[in-house]
Amino acid sequence: MTQPVKHVVVLISGNGSNLQALIDAQYTPALPNTKIVLVVSNRASAFGLTRASQADIPTLCMSLKAHKDAGKTRSEYDVDLATAILTKFQQIVGVPDAVPDLVVLAGFMHIVSPDFLMRFPPGGLVNLHPALPGEFDGAHAIDRAFAAFGEGKITRTGVMVHRVIAEVDRGEVLLTEEIPILAGDTLSTLEDRIHAIEHGIIVRGVKLALGV
């Protein structure tokens, strides 16, 4: 019996290498019966939008700066972004009131508010974060981990995939992977190793979250 296809929306802000890992994994044993139907960015310059277009995936871009320039608040931006995502998703799948099976934050450099989250089913969003649970929540996690290593406070860091809740990087943890920080590491070499691990764990985390 053919399993129904799971529809995924991916939010990005930059290069989109984790998005590419998901694109490459869809419809393979790594991510079966899964289709990325929309890629969303808060930055028009994000190369991830190009990756999506090259894979024939529809895109949406909405800038917080443009909203602020128009006199709107951050909360209004989140409401407008969620509304735009759902409207475009419903147009793509051709089902009024449909919602994505999963929304994936893959390098989305914007903290989503409760106003955004309440427009999606509970547990319907997951995030990739380059730190272990309870360590280096929020922005610049890799930089802060490397600085802590330099101060002799830690010898490893890691990455995790977790469900998104209002508290930043505090939702239910789905997967983690520790990454040792080596004596010869620079910030750049550590970042490269972390990103390589991210490309695998985000696919496994999405598969787990979708139950495929």
Distance between CA atoms of residues 186 and 205, nearest Å: 28
Which residues are tagged catalytic?
129
Phi, psi of 31 (to 5 degrees): -150, 70
